[in-house]
Amino acid sequence: GSGAAGITAALAARGVIGPDGSARPVPRDAPAVVLLNNERRLGLKILVSGGGRCNLTNARVDEHDYQTDAPHVLRGLLRGYSAQVARSYFEQRGCKTYEEPLGKVFPRSNKARDVLQVLLGDVQRAEIPLLAPAEVTRLTPPTAPGHGWRVTLSDESSWSAQRVILATGGMSLPKTGSRGFGLTALAELGHDMAPS
């Protein structure tokens, strides 16, 4: 998916985001990364979040804001990419932010499109192909050591990938493309689904 999580994961995998949110040139040994999005239009959930303003983060985020059976992993993630780094990422790219009294952080322009443009601009600078529409219908794990994943699209074409990041969203807003494929795919791969 090419929403905020998918784009950020792709940029991190490509090695173009510094630990402070700064932009880095594409490393010589950067892995090839491809973004697939099931909808032709990109960032639909970004564009509607926060009433069209896009709540980027909260001023304070800690482990108690999440439910997990791996709190040590979560703590490491939050230390590695804090709310301040997330905010700095946008600020450094010209998307100034502000904090509301309850701690929500928005772009100063109050336009979600500005947030999407920052993310898509970094995808372009990182030379990451973005295919849309490209609806994934099946993920097949490697069948032997050294083999890759098989990623099958709705037109029955398929890709081979060493690693797959599943960033498809849940089912909270189907009109944005989040129809639950990720949950179905994870269940088919043997993961248990915790009730929400």
Sequential pLDDT tens for the chain (196 residues): 899 999 999 999 999 999 999 999 999 999 999 999 999 999 999 999 999 999 999 999 988 888 888 999 999 989 888 999 999 999 999 999 999 999 999 999 999 999 999 999 999 999 999 999 999 999 999 998 889 999 999 999 998 999 999 998 877 777 777 777 888 898 999 988 877 6
Cβ contacts of residue 6 below 8 Å, gap of 6+? 35, 37, 165, 167, 168
149, two tokens: 């994943």
Give pLDDT, residue 100.
Answer: 96
Give pLDDT, residue 192.
Answer: 87
If we measure between CA atoms, which residue out of 131, 124, 102, 146 comes closest to residue 35?
131
161-to-129, 164, 168 alpha-carbon distances in Å = 14, 7, 17
Give pLDDT, residue 196.
Answer: 65
Q: Are strands 35-36 and 130-131 parallel, antiparallel or unpaired?
A: parallel
If we measure between CA atoms, which residue out of 26, 50, 36, 161 comes closest to residue 105?
50
